[in-house]
Amino acid sequence: MTITPIEPGSTLGILGGGQLARMLSLAASRLGLKTHIYAPEADQPAFDVTPYHTIGAYEDEAALSAFSEKVAAVTYEFENIPVSCAEIVARKTLLRPGVEALRKTQDRLIEKEWIASLGLPVAPYARVDSVTDLQLALSGIGAPSILKTRRFGYDGKGQFKLSSAADSDAAWAALNGYPSILEGFVPFSCEVSVVVARGADGAFAPFALCCNEHADHILSITHAPANLAASLQDQAFAMAKTIGDALNYVGVFAVEMFVISKGGTDHLVINEIAPRVHNSGHWTMDGAVTSQFEQHIRAVCGWPLGSAELLGTCEMHNLIGAQASDWQHILSNPQAHLHLYGKADIRAGRKMGHVNFVRPL
């Protein structure tokens, strides 16, 4: 297969205008590309780093077509772009990663079934469309377990943790009767993720396995590399490669996993896949030879991937809500790498920025 690379000077389209689109655009600019952002709302963080944007609904076929005609290729910053939107774009221009990655990941049930079908380990799960389904699922999976909406959940939204079968009615009510799945609670020793890039030529470049700490269901701190056996990282890379190859994926994606300690050995269970650059990969901006954002742009352009090598022992701290007010204190540490997303309003739970620390290996 011959891959025609996109030329520097071309314009890349990005669906979504949040901080991930912003950082993708900055990486693209460094490489001599232009970017055009497509997002449904005004005042998006990515609108401040390029002169080119379209405000349009993800359902607006005319606006999406016009956007697609202006760009050499399109990518997306998150997995909740409607499949119909991706299909419109893919008919007009090159969409990387493709429609299939969205289809497989934006519905938790489809995602679980698909991961399991690849022979990869997932937590026990069951489809729940009614409170009766939920009670049945609980009798199989048991408690504690977590009821999650199949679609549009993130950062702990659309989830309810059940301590016993007695919580069924409350759980079903809390999720407003949306199609859901019940997932068995995995007694993990830690949460890890692997962020990897796959090139248009099938090249595979994984960043170091990293370990994630959450607070209020939102990523708080990432440590890279994870302080775990090398064999576990090898397992994680192999799983990610299986997933990437199965999708013929082009770009960066993340696989979130739980580490389970059983009988003295650790093994991995996949939690979910994010078909995009990922918060747990932000440490690569200062801690890897090539950042996840540059890797994604290289892949989307059909260019060779850069080195994913680690530059040191890295820690990424998210700045959530009012934590961003601390910018002066952060800047007073000359080793701290501050990244702010240009969001005007500080709101509780809102990702405002992050700080990276890198200590030489």
Residues that bind a second copy (CB under 8 A): 5, 8-9, 22, 26, 29-34, 47-51, 53, 289-290, 298, 303-307, 311, 324, 327-328, 331-332, 334-342, 344, 353
Q: Which residues of 88-104 are buried (b: 16+ CB within 10 A; e: fewer)?
A: bbbebbbbbbbbbbbbb
Nearer to a second copy, 30 or 157 (CB): 30
Q: How far is the CB of 226 from a second copy (least distance, A)?
A: 22
Q: Is 357 exposed, middle or buried (0-12, 13-18, 19+ CB in 10 A)?
A: middle
Q: Which is nearer to a second copy, 7 or 169 (CB)?
A: 7
**Cβ-count burial 183-195 (b if 16+ within 10 Å, e if not):** bbbbebebbbbbb
Question: Angle of helix 19-30 relative to helix 292-300, nearest 10 degrees?
Answer: 70
The H-or-E segment that residue 90 falls in is helix 83-92
State the nearest-atom distance from the C-beta of 205 to a second copy, in Å: 8
Task: In angstroms, give the least distance from the CB of 291 to a second copy.
Answer: 10
Cα dist from 141 to 125, 129, 187, 260, whole Å: 7, 16, 14, 17
Nearer to a second copy among residue 134 and residue 352 (C-beta):
352
Cα(150)–Cα(158) distance, integer angstroms:
9
**Which is nearer to a second copy, 58 or 341 (by Cβ)?**
341
- The residue among 179 and 312 lying less far from a second copy, judged by its C-beta, is 312
Find the shortest distance in angstroms from Cβ 148 to a second copy. Answer: 33
Q: How far is CA 198 from the centre of its chain?
A: 15
CB of 58 to a second copy, least distance (A): 22
Please, what is the minimum distance in Å from the beta carbon of residue 305 to a second copy?
7
**Scanning the structure block, which residue is given the tokens 């679980």?**
112
Q: Measuring CA to CA, how many Å separate 11 from each of 41, 99, 122, 160?
A: 21, 20, 39, 42
Torsion angles phi and psi, residue 4, rounded to 5: -85, 115
What tokens appear for 179 in the block? 């199609």
- We find the least distance from the C-beta atom of residue 199 to a second copy, in angstroms, to be 11
Angle at 49 between CA 97 and CA 253, to 5 degrees: 25
Closer of 235 and 356 to a second copy (Cβ): 356
Based on CB atoms, which residue is closest to a second copy, 7 or 213? Answer: 7
- Please identify, using beta-carbon distances, which residue of 134 and 197 lies nearer to a second copy: 197
Q: How far is the CB of 56 from a second copy (least distance, A)?
A: 17
